[in-house]
Amino acid sequence: MRHFTRLADLGPAGMQQVFDKALASKKQAPGAGLSGKLLGMVFFNPSLRTRASFEAAMLRSGGHAIVLEVGGGVWKLEDRKGAVMNSDRPEHIREAIPVLGRYVDALAVRTFAALADDDADAADPVINAFRELAGVPVISMESAREHPCQGLADLLTIRENFGTTRALPVTLVWAPHIKPLPKAVPHSFLLTAAAAGCELRIAHPPGFDLHPEVLAEARQYAAQSGGSVSVTHDPKAALASSRVVYAKSWGPASNSAPAGEAATRITAHSDWLVNGKTLAAAAQNAIFLHCLPVRRNVEVADEVLDGPHSRVIDEAENRLHVQRVLLHDLLNQKKEIRRVHIA
């Protein structure tokens, strides 16, 4: 694995190895496996868990991280090829990426979807430019198309709670919000749950389809893993006998909502608020997951987040554990697959 910015970089078998290693490393002292390693963390968007868990993963194992906030202390970055750069973005990623690659051993990147065009977002231009230009391994802290470390943490949490993920009925249920959100998290849950062999049901209002390429990729994984993927607009049907309720908001499909109507389209579905009734429609001992941050009483009611079914804090902790495994793998690759700048 040269880079990790999409589940396909691992594949279903590699994913299971990450789970096995993460479960083992949770029982051990961190060690110094990243000693002398330096991670450059580039944020185009805000973060709490991602920032803290990646930095903690490096520091816990003897490594270090440099945190760069684009448009904060760091110049705003242009990403359009061929741009005449007369805007408020004084530097191009075509310089910024290879320069940073000379200073660090790997680059972690967070770059959200632009939300204007689902196909443009699914092409994931910024993180793919990092893969092309960095000269060192690149790991995603969420990009336009996927949030793969989140997906791994989600499924690790499910495996910890149920011992296995195979044939487990799990439901991804859309939640209301005050504005359209990216689809990277639901995409990654879809991909990892399918690759883990879950019986995955997705429930969302009409017009909020996930990207067809990602759905197709998930169905391929499901075919390999013995899982399944179904989509419905009826949350009760999706939740029946489900062992996992995964709540998440995302914006309408870009080809289904006229520009400017996205926000209206979302607030029209405030009855999708995930509350005690939602949980009651699932299996009795179902667990509740959400990637966080969550808008309480807009997306999910207090009674769910503060109740006994919630595993959202364990889920967030698992970000740390899967990322430690991934960083160890990426930063201890054989030397020939990356440029060595300092020797």
* Binding interface with a second copy (CB under 8 A): 26-30, 36, 38, 40, 43, 46-49, 51-53, 55-56, 59-60, 64, 66-69, 72-75, 78, 82-86, 90-92, 94-96, 98-100, 102-104, 178, 292-298, 302, 305-306, 312-313, 316-317, 320, 341-343
Shortest CB 306 distance to a second copy, Å: 8
Residue nearer to a second copy on the CB measure, 49 or 265: 49
Give the amino acid at 13. Answer: A
Tokens describing residue 163: 């011992």
Shortest CB 141 distance to a second copy, Å: 12
Closest by CA position to 6, among listed 253, 174, 214: 214
- Alpha carbon distance 178, 171 (integer Å): 22
Beta partners for 202? 172, 231
Shortest CB 169 distance to a second copy, Å: 26
Neighbours of 285 (CB within 10 A): 10
Residue nearer to a second copy on the CB measure, 21 or 60: 60
Alpha carbon of residue 246 to chain centroid: 14
Shortest CB 182 distance to a second copy, Å: 13
Residue nearer to a second copy on the CB measure, 99 or 167: 99
Shortest CB 197 distance to a second copy, Å: 28
Residue nearer to a second copy on the CB measure, 1 or 74: 74
- Alpha carbon distance 164, 161 (integer Å): 8
- Alpha carbon distance 252, 204 (integer Å): 10
Q: Do 280 and 174 touch, CB atoms closer than 8 A?
A: no
Shortest CB 148 distance to a second copy, Å: 19
List all residues 6 or more positions away from 233 whose beta carbon is below 8 Å from its beta carbon. Answer: 203, 204, 205, 206
List all residues 6 or more positions away from 56 whose beta carbon is below 8 Å from its beta carbon. Answer: 320
- Alpha carbon distance 212, 127 (integer Å): 20
Residue nearer to a second copy on the CB measure, 258 or 342: 342
Name the one residue in this structure whose structure tokens are 């966080």. 292
Residue nearer to a second copy on the CB measure, 6 or 49: 49
Shortest CB 259 distance to a second copy, Å: 23
Give the amino acid at 248. Answer: K
Residue nearer to a second copy on the CB measure, 232 or 297: 297
